[in-house]
Amino acid sequence: MKNKKGWLIFLVLIFIQTGLLIVLSYLIRQKTELVVETRHQLKGFEQKDANLLQLQQDYDQIKDEVLVLNQVLPNKEQTFVFINQLEQEASSSGLAAKINFASDSLDIENGIKKVALNLDFQGSYFDMLNLLKRIEKMPQVIRIDQVIMQSPTGLGQKQSHVVLSLTLFVDQSF
């Protein structure tokens, strides 16, 4: 009987040890999977860190040009600043200008947003040429679509009526 009890205790101990080993191996497997997943996440973070560092280096190289790039394709706020600047340039050129700009004049050409503007002004032919030269010096991307001039009293007279149609290319977020 003692022998049977001894064997029974021995078997129970083996079952307990086996159960303990199974539980421990399961826990080890879970922890190993967690370590592997964490290692993959760490590699991903390291890659993101390297990408951000490269992005910072790229930005450091172009940061001086970013302001110029913002002017080239203005956003909504910068577009209104540009229109005011255009009126000032017209006035400085000796022209009395009226700029027509409608919110529905926004369109897309070859995937780039654009705004149509019309300048209606009084002045001489030479004043208009002066304004066109000033427009060409502006950093924004502008296309002169049409110039209509009516000059009943001669090209040098300030009574000439001029309509200047422009296209201003704007930022995609416009």
The predicted model scores a pTM of: 0.52
Structural domain containing residue 145: 76-169
Q: How many domains does the chain have?
A: 2
Query: Collapsing DSSP states into helix, strand and coil, what is residue 38?
Result: helix
Domain-located, residue 59: yes
Domain-located, residue 51: yes
What pLDDT sits at residue 34? Answer: 93
Centre a 10 Å sphere on the Cβ of residue 26 and count the other Cβ atoms it contains. Answer: 10
What pLDDT sits at residue 113? Answer: 81
d(CA 147, CA 123) in angstroms, rounded, equals 13
> pLDDT tens across 55-101, in order?
888 888 877 776 666 666 677 777 788 888 888 888 888 787 777 76
What pLDDT sits at residue 10? Answer: 86
Same domain (yes/no): 82, 48: no
Given a cut of 70, the residues of the chain with pLDDT beneath it are 1-2, 66-73, 101-104, 155-157, 172-174
What pLDDT sits at residue 172? Answer: 67
Domain-located, residue 161: yes
Same domain (yes/no): 56, 124: no
d(CA 31, CA 148) in angstroms, rounded, equals 79
**To 10 degrees, the CA torsion angle through 167, 171, 172, 173?**
-120
